[in-house]
Amino acid sequence: MFFVDIIKIITHNKYCVQNLILIKLGVLMQKLLFSLSIISIGLIVGYIIQKLVQKGTIKADVNLAKQRKILQKIALLALNPIATVGAIWILSFDNVRIFFMPFIGLFAILLGGFTSLLIGKIL
């Protein structure tokens, strides 16, 4: 909303408006590229470690499959949502109720899932 107010004030100079829009887009692209670079670096490091294990340079633990599954769950359920929200969901929390929207959605999904399990066991 801050940029909208500035654009309204400076509408007489179209180059200023274009520069402000480009700055806003640049900030959004920086955040998106940062998140994508973290993902890319993680994939590259994982691939390098996999090749070193295959060559025998690094000895892998027997429980490597179990550790891999735990790390995948952490990445998918914890890190990816945080990176996505940080990169894309730009929102001011002036109104505190907006902050609780994801939790309300999660509660609705969990309530529906537990209700369906309960009804499934009854039937």
Burial of 53 (0-12, 13-18, 19+ CB in 10 A): middle
The full set of domain ranges for the chain reads 2-90, 93-123
Amino acid at 42: G
pLDDT digit string (tens) for 5-41? Answer: 555 555 555 555 555 565 666 666 777 788 888 889 9
Q: What is the pLDDT of residue 12?
A: 54
Q: What is the CA radius of gyration of the chain?
A: 23
Q: What is the pLDDT of residue 80?
A: 81
Specify which of 28-32, 44-48, 53-57 reaches the highest per-range mean pLDDT: 44-48
Q: What is the pLDDT of residue 16?
A: 58
Look at 18-27, 42-51, 55-64, 69-78 and tell me which has the smallest mean pLDDT: 18-27
